[in-house]
Amino acid sequence: MIGLISATAAGAAARDRLVAAWPARTRVYDGPVGEAVRRAFAECEQLVCFLATGAVVRVVAPLLGDKTSDPGVVCVDEAGRFAVSLVGGHGGGANELAREVGELLGAEPVVTTATDAVGLPGLDTLGFPVEGDVAGVSRALLDGEAVVLDAEVSWPLPPLPVAAEGRYAIRLTDRLVEPGEREVVLRPPSLVVGVGASRNAPVEEVLGLVRGALRDAGLSAKSVAELATVDAKADEPGIVEAAARLGVPLVTYSAGELATVEVPNPSDAPLAAVGTPSVAEAAALVGGGELLVPKRKSAARPAMATCAVVRRPARGRLAVVGLGPGARDLLTPRAKDELRRASVLVGLDQYVDQIRDLLRPGTRVLESGLGAEEERARTAVAEARRGHAVALIGSGDAGVYAMASPALAEASDDIDVVGVPGVTAALAAGAILGAPLGHDHVSISLSDLHTPWEVIERRVRAAAEADIVVTFYNPRSRGRDWQLPKALAILAGHREPTTPVGVVRNASRADESSRLTTLTGLDPATVDMMTVVTVGNTATREIAGRMVTPRGYRWQEESE
């Protein structure tokens, strides 16, 4: 919950905008300001104070305890110009909250946390349990000192500027080790513990078995991602409570699913009880991985619990990101987040140049030239399979004549794939022209490098006969100069010579140009590969210099 405190009418007005935007996330604290801040500090995870930072500092200073548990505090000035992350930038989420508040109120977020200021991910914000010299290693990263990444477990990480040798180290491990001097240990969620239990098995027996198995194998309980068992034990109190105490989810599988998993130690007892020859080992191995601790029974007599531990394979992450038509303000916030999250960026060299300044230090960039689309797709998928967080970029929307389809054709279910939509060239050009896509429309690429011309021609003819607005991508190049005249001729067989045609080159970029012409007035020689050509249907009109296709066909009916 976010506590909101204000003292003036201007502050209350800004406060109410947050309430309207986040009704389920916010709570207003009225009354004397000092008392309101103190109550919110005790009751909420975060605070937004529409007060001077000095006043808030004086009130919260005696309340501060530990940065891992204190709420995040953001201050917004009287004029609503700045949203200042004051306390709990990382642990309390104040840095991100300042950005959210700034976006809603039109205020500038002020974040002074050193790592955030220079674009480095905070070691305590990676979503992993962290131990050791966080401050020292973070300072080394900020100062440009050599920091070594010792990844004993392959796991997706954001970009970090690491070196082969150095005095400082980041160790990524699920082993039960203590951090060394000048070292940070990150615990990835790499372990799955399969659990079986007799009815009414005590939680102490289940939990003691799990902790003992991990300890004896030299594994950290902080790297346990989940407890897993059979559906029949989903409500078994000892298992449910053990998962709760470990702070991990309980995942269940049907007996049929578990029966198909090959295990080293099957048994007749669980087969008779729940319908599968293995519960602990099978539940841990469902997603694959390395069996580190085979089935193990609790020490009680009779033993009422079993467990097994598996190190699951790291799932790399592939984000296919649409960069939009080129203008920075048409690059979506989600796309920016994915670019900053990726430790590996794959893309066409000219697209990489567009967003290079957004990449975090340490991002590995794999760029190539025109014509290497399939190679880039294979490279991106291969890097994700190695356990990296990868961003594969394309212009416009990555799913429209871009990189999503070749990448997903290469990918399988061994990696996580995220699609990030972008503003397409057709949409950017349409906004410049007016509203040419107001009714049914289709996009057709005239490039026959991957599609036979006979197929393209059939599609153009179908669009012409169906009276659909057509946007032509890849309309003309030096080696393909006859396809656009042919396509226009097909449309001319079904539409009037005066049908509006919009031509936009480099939509949204610094050298953008656009013009309206007609079906017979368009000179194909003025069109190139950086151009989008939109041909209206029989209802499209030019109105006040804009190309407009009505949502219905009333205009056409009135003109008949």
- Residue owning tokens 């689309």: 373
- Residue owning tokens 């499209």: 540
State the DSSP code for 167.
Answer: S
The predicted structure's pLDDT at residue 301: 87
Asked whether 438 and 536 are in contact (CB, 8 A), the reply is no
Task: Compute how many other C-beta atoms are within 10 angstroms of the C-beta atom of residue 66.
Answer: 7
Asked whether 514 and 433 are in contact (CB, 8 A), the reply is yes
From the number of C-beta atoms within 10 Å of its C-beta (0-12, 13-18, 19+), residue 240 rates as: middle
User: Measured between alpha carbons, how far is 259 from 484 in angstroms, rounded to an integer?
Assistant: 60
The predicted structure's pLDDT at residue 114: 57
Q: Is the CA virtual torsion 489, 494, 495, 501 positive or negative? A: negative
Asked whether 549 and 502 are in contact (CB, 8 A), the reply is no
Per-residue pLDDT of the chain (560 residues; tens, 9 = 90+): 999 999 888 889 999 999 999 998 899 999 888 899 999 989 999 999 998 888 889 998 998 887 778 899 999 988 888 999 988 877 788 888 998 899 889 888 888 765 555 566 677 777 788 899 888 888 888 788 888 988 888 888 888 888 888 899 999 999 999 998 999 999 999 999 999 999 999 999 999 999 999 999 999 999 999 999 999 999 999 999 999 999 999 999 999 999 999 999 888 888 878 888 999 999 999 988 999 999 999 988 899 999 999 999 888 999 999 999 989 999 999 999 899 889 999 999 999 999 999 998 889 999 998 888 899 999 999 999 988 999 999 999 999 988 999 999 988 888 999 999 999 999 999 999 999 999 999 999 999 888 999 999 999 999 999 999 999 999 999 889 999 999 999 999 999 999 999 999 999 998 999 999 999 999 999 999 999 999 999 999 999 999 999 987 565 555 54
The predicted structure's pLDDT at residue 176: 93
Cα dihedral 112, 113, 114, 116 in deg (nearest 10): -100
User: Measured between alpha carbons, how far is 38 from 34 in angstroms, rounded to an integer?
Assistant: 6
Interacting residues of 235 by C-beta distance below 8 A, sequence separation 6+: none
User: Measured between alpha carbons, how far is 88 from 98 in angstroms, rounded to an integer?
Assistant: 11
Q: Which amino acid is at 460?
A: V
Task: Compute how many other C-beta atoms are within 10 angstroms of the C-beta atom of residue 200.
Answer: 9
The predicted structure's pLDDT at residue 162: 82
The predicted structure's pLDDT at residue 384: 94
For 475-507, what is the HEC assignment? CCECCECCHHHHHHHHHHCCCCCCCEEEEEECC
**C-alpha count within 13 angstroms, C-beta hemisphere, residue 308:** 24
The predicted structure's pLDDT at residue 506: 93
